[in-house]
Amino acid sequence: QTVVTQEPSFSVSPGGTVTLTCGLSSGSVSSSYNPSWYQQTPGQAPRTLIYSTNSRSSGVPDRFSGSIVGKRAALTITGAQADDECDYYCVLYMGNGTWVFGGGTKLTVL
């Protein structure tokens, strides 16, 4: 089974910009993989941020944006805030009706 890869951890300064990425163990991510992104704080269910590569879910501030950068899907957070410190997951469509989540990125704001 293809592995979806994410940076295990990342740090950003308050007010700064960070780009988290989502790739494949083999091959390139394109919009046909329908990448979506989720934010998860400890003890809570995930929250949808981005779907279909770059569509923002209802209520998500425009500080969060999605794109394809090179061979990977990307989630960019601008103007990072303290409460952005949590885990971020991407998920990709693998065909035949199946989906695979990435390993998640733990974002630190300091």
Per CB under 8 A, 102 contacts another protein: yes
Per CB under 8 A, 85 contacts another protein: no
* Mask for 32-61, x = binds another protein (CB under 8 A): --x-x-x-x----xxxx--xx----x----
Q: Decide: 2 and 24 in contact? Cβ < 8 Å.
A: yes
Residue 18, phi then psi, degrees to nearest 5: -140, 145
Residue type, 74: A
Task: List the structure tokens of 36.
Answer: 């979506």
Which residues here bind another protein, judged by CB under 8 A?
1, 34, 36, 38, 40, 45-48, 51-52, 57, 89, 91, 93, 96-104
